[in-house]
C-alpha cells in the first residue's frame, strides 16, 4: 500500500531526535527541578540568540505570549487593536482576553494584513492603540511599512510570529519591529515542542521582567504579588527538549522547508491553481504552502486524498465572522467586508510541507496537483 503523504510527521521527528530527547528527559528528571529552572533560562537565552533579539520569556502557549505582551505594554480594556481577519483565532482571542476591541482590515494578495486597507480603516473608524499583524504562512510582512504605520498612528506594534520563526523582512528578523512579539511552540509549528509552549521576545529588560512576573501569578518575588498575573510557565521538560533537539535543528529544517517550497514553486503548473505571492522583501520560512483553488476546492482535496495526499485549509472561517465574537460583545462582521481574506477562506488549500517530507513525496504532490482534471 502506498504511504499517505502527511501534513506533519511527528513519528519521524521522534525517531530522528530520540536519543537526545531521552537524554534531555533524563537530565531534567535527575535535576530534581521541574518548573522555572536552569532549562527554561538556558532555552530562553539560546532562543533569543538564534532569533537575534535580546530577551525571550518562555510561557505556556502562543496565545498567552500575545496576551502577556499586550499586558506588559500596558493594554487597557476598550483600547483598539488593528489586526487581520485571516489567522488562527488565537490572535484575536488574546486581544479579547485583555478587553481590547479588535478592528479588522482586509489582507493583501499574500494573505497578510494589508496596510493600505488598514490606513482606510483607521481613517474611517478612528484611532488605533495597537497593531497586531500576523506573519502568516511563514512569510514576513514588511517591517518598515509596519513601523511607519504605527508611527503615523501613535500605535504600539505586537507582531504575531507564531508561524514565522526565522523569517526575515528586508534583512531583519520578524519580531524586531515590536517592543514585544509573540511566538508559539505548538507541535506543528516550525519550532514545535512535544506539547504546548510559547514565548515572548523583546529588546527591553523592563518588559522582560514584567512578562516574567505576568507568567507566574504576577509575583515579583516568592509570595509577593505585584500584579494580576497568569499561570503561564513554560515547563522545564519542554524547555529542555526544545533547547537540546528542536532549536539546534531549526536552521537545517528551515533550509529543507525552503528547498521543498522551491520545488513546489517551480513544479506546480495548473490553470486553476494559484500560488499567492511572497511579500516583497520576505525571506519566508514556509510554515505552510498555500495554493488557491479556483472553484471546487473540496473536489481538489478529494483528488489529493485519493492519491494518498493529506491537505488542510487555513482558514475556512474568517475571525470577524466567528460565533465567539458575539460572546465577547463584539459585532459579528460579514465575510464580504473582507473580500481578499474571504477569497482565501473559500479557496485556500495547504499542501504538505514539513522537514521530513522526502523529495519523492514532494514530487508526488506536484504530480497530483498538475494531474488534477477538475
Ligand X SMILES: Cc1ncc(COP(=O)(O)O)c(C=O)c1O
Residue ranges that bind ligand X, judged by CB under 6 A: 61-63, 87-88, 90-91, 134, 160, 162-163, 184, 186, 196, 198
Pick between residue 181 and residue 273 the one whose CB is nearest to ligand X. Answer: 181
Output the CA torsion 334→338→343→349 (10° steps): -90
Helix then strand then coil, % of the chain, to nearest 5: 45, 15, 40
User: Phi and psi at residue 63, in whole multiples of 5°?
Assistant: -60, -50
Measured between alpha carbons, how far is residue 285 from residues 16, 116, 201, 257, 354 in Å?
21, 25, 18, 7, 11
Q: Least distance in Å: CB of 317 to ligand X?
A: 15
Assess contact for 108 and 146: CB atoms under 8 A: no
Q: Least distance in Å: CB of 79 to ligand X?
A: 20
Q: In whole angstroms, what is the distance from residue 65 CA to residue 62 CA? A: 5
Pick between residue 51 and residue 300 the one whose CB is nearest to ligand X. Answer: 51
Pick between residue 150 and residue 288 the one whose CB is nearest to ligand X. Answer: 288
Q: Least distance in Å: CB of 314 to ligand X?
A: 8
Q: Least distance in Å: CB of 282 to ligand X?
A: 16
In terms of DSSP bridges, do strands 168-169 and 172-173 run parallel, antiparallel, or are they unpaired?
Answer: antiparallel
Pick between residue 17 and residue 192 the one whose CB is nearest to ligand X. Answer: 192
Helix and strand numbers, DSSP H then E, in the chain: 13, 15
Pick between residue 83 and residue 311 the one whose CB is nearest to ligand X. Answer: 83
In our burial notation (b when 16+ CB lie closer than 10 A, e otherwise), range 90-121 reads bbbbbbbbbebebbbbbbbebbbbbbebbeeb
Pick between residue 254 and residue 364 the one whose CB is nearest to ligand X. Answer: 254
Q: Least distance in Å: CB of 135 to ligand X?
A: 8
Pick between residue 61 and residue 254 the one whose CB is nearest to ligand X. Answer: 61
- Local structure of residue 80 (DSSP, 8 states): E
User: Phi and psi at residue 56, in whole multiples of 5°?
Assistant: -125, 145
Q: Which residue is nearest to ligand X (CB)?
A: 62
Q: In whole angstroms, what is the distance from residue 353 CA to residue 183 CA? A: 20
Measured between alpha carbons, how far is residue 188 from residues 284, 287, 316 in Å?
17, 9, 18
Q: Least distance in Å: CB of 335 to ligand X?
A: 19
Q: Least distance in Å: CB of 126 to ligand X?
A: 26
Pick between residue 88 and residue 365 the one whose CB is nearest to ligand X. Answer: 88
Amino acid at each position: 500500500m502506498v504511504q499517505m503523504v502527511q501534513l506533519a510527521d511527528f513519528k519521524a521527528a521522534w525517531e530522528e531526535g530520540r536519543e537526545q530527547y531521552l537524554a534531555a528527559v533524563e537530565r531534567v528528571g535527575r535535576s530534581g527541578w521541574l518548573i522555572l529552572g536552569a532549562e527554561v533560562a538556558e532555552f530562553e537565552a539560546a532562543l533569543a540568540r538564534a532569533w537575534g533579539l535580546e530577551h525571550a520569556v518562555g510561557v505556556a502557549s502562543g496565545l498567552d505570549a500575545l496576551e502577556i505582551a499586550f499586558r506588559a505594554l500596558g493594554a487597557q480594556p476598550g483600547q483598539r487593536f488593528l489586526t487581520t481577519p485571516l489567522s488562527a483565532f488565537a490572535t484575536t482571542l488574546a486581544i479579547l482576553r485583555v478587553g481590547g476591541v479588535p478592528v479588522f482590515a482586509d489582507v493583501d494578495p499574500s494573505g497578510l494584513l494589508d496596510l493600505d486597507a488598514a490606513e482606510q480603516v483607521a481613517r474611517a473608524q478612528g484611532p488605533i492603540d495597537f497593531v497586531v499583524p500576523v506573519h502568516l504562512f511563514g512569510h514576513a510582512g514588511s517591517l518598515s511599512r509596519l513601523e511607519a504605520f504605527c508611527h503615523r498612528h501613535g500605535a504600539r506594534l505586537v507582531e504575531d510570529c507564531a508561524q514565522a520563526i526565522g523569517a526575515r523582512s528586508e534583512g531583519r528578523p520578524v519580531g524586531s519591529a515590536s517592543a514585544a512579539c509573540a511566538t508559539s511552540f505548538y507541535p506543528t509549528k516550525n519550532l514545535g515542542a512535544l506539547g504546548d509552549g510559547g514565548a515572548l521576545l523583546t529588546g527591553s529588560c523592563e518588559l522582560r521582567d514584567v512578562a516574567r512576573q505576568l507568567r507566574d501569578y504576577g509575583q515579583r518575588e516568592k509570595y509577593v504579588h505585584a500584579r494580576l498575573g497568569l499561570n503561564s510557565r513554560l515547563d522545564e521538560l519542554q524547555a529542555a527538549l526544545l533547547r537540546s533537539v528542536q532549536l539546534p535543528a531549526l536552521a537545517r529544517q528551515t533550509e529543507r522547508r525552503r528547498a521543498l517550497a522551491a520545488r513546489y514553486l517551480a513544479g506546480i503548473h495548473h490553470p486553476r491553481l494559484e500560488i499567492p505571492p511572497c511579500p516583497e522583501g520576505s525571506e519566508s520560512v514556509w510554515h505552510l504552502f498555500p495554493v488557491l483553488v479556483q472553484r471546487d476546492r473540496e473536489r481538489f482535496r478529494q483528488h489529493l486524498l485519493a492519491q494518498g495526499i493529506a491537505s488542510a485549509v487555513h482558514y475556512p472561517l474568517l475571525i470577524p465572522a466567528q460565533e465567539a465574537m458575539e460572546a465577547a460583545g463584539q459585532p459579528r462582521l460579514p465575510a464580504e467586508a473582507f473580500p481578499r481574506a474571504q477569497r482565501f477562506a473559500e479557496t485556500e488549500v495547504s499542501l504538505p510541507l514539513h522537514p521530513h517530507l522526502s523529495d519523492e513525496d514532494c514530487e508526488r504532490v506536484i504530480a497530483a496537483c498538475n494531474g488534477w482534471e477538475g
